[in-house]
Structure 1
Amino acid sequence: MSSYNFESINAVAWAFTHEEDALMMYEHEFGASVQQTGIWLHESGVLGASPGGLVLLPPTCEVNFQKPEAKDSSPDIVEVKCPYSAAQLTIYEAVHSLKDFYLEYREGFYYLKSNHPYFHQIQGQLHLCNKNCCDLIVWTTKDCKIIRITKDSEWTKNIANLIEFYFNTFIPELIQN
């Protein structure tokens, strides 16, 4: 009999349940305005992105900047993360106690690790939605941080690689099985 890891089910339910809490904090406490949006399809029809929302009015609170040029950028979209593993921790505690946490803390600021899948998710959203800047909202019951991430022009080459993978690897495997 197979064993299942129900931890991931709890994590998905937690994130789904609390994404609205994070967006409400972003809007009501931080002064932003967000419009819900659906899926955005790439012209190829095989890639899509679904950001947490479109930013109509940026927040007035303190923001962490992924790169210096983000200081001069206004967010176009948001992505929300409500980490189940850090649900009862501050973001600082999560960074320093959870081995695989996706943020790092350096010189007083939080950064999204550029080798983490969330970095690639956000870059994909920026490219597929044709936007320039994203506010990553990281929310726990004890804390909320915003990391402003700008589009990485070098990441563009991944779009062609993903489309090639889809047609040359994924579809043949799907047909074969």
Structure 2
Amino acid sequence: PVLGVTPDALVYCECCGKGCVEIKCPYTHCNHDRLQACEDDTFCLTLTDGIVELKQTHKYYKQVQTQIFVTKSEFCDFVVWTTKACVIIRVRPDARMWGQLLQVAQE
């Protein structure tokens, strides 16, 4: 299969290695801070024990994992910007998820 990705940026630093960046500016939450946005069950982020995370069940998680593996990155910085907040979440490769995505792509 042929897979293509369009990360918003590719980055590199000596301590963290090669990474990609995905930026989202959700219109439905443009005037919310991160806590208000996380109260929405359909939002891509969740709050767990005071830590904001990208939901593994959200389509953006699959998008980010595909970008990590296609670009051979060590991480993806997932950025959510609103007028009230900017959240940056470092997402690491998830080999299990990538295996599932690759299997679906091959079918």
- Runs (4+) of structure 1 moved beyond 2 Å? 72-75
The aligned counterpart of 1:50 is 6
Question: If the length of structure 2 is used for normalisation, what is the TM-score?
Answer: 0.88
Deviations 1:116-173 (A, max 9, x none): 1000000010111111201100100110011110001112322132132xxxxxxxxx
Closer, same or farther: CA 128–95 of 1 in aligned 2, 3 Å: same
The counterpart of 1:125, out of the listed 56, 60, 67, is 67
- The answer for unaligned runs of 5 or more in structure 1 is 1-43, 59-71, 165-177
Q: Distance in 2 between matches of 1:100 and 1:160?
A: 26
Larger RCO: 1 or 2 (CA < 8 Å, sep 6+): 2
Q: Please tell me whether Structure 1 or Structure 2 has the larger radius of gyration of its CA atoms.
A: 1
Helix, strand or coil at the partner of 1:76: strand
More strand by share: 2
Identity across aligned pairs (percent)?
A: 34
The aligned counterpart of 1:114 is 56
Q: Distance in 2 between matches of 1:107 and 1:73?
A: 26
Number of positions where the alignment pairs a residue of Structure 1 with one of Structure 2: 106
More helix by share: 1
Q: Distance in 1 between matches of 2:45 and 2:85?
A: 14
Closer, same or farther: CA 143–130 of 1 in aligned 2, 3 Å: same
Question: If the length of structure 1 is used for normalisation, what is the TM-score?
Answer: 0.55
- The answer for unaligned runs of 5 or more in structure 2 is none
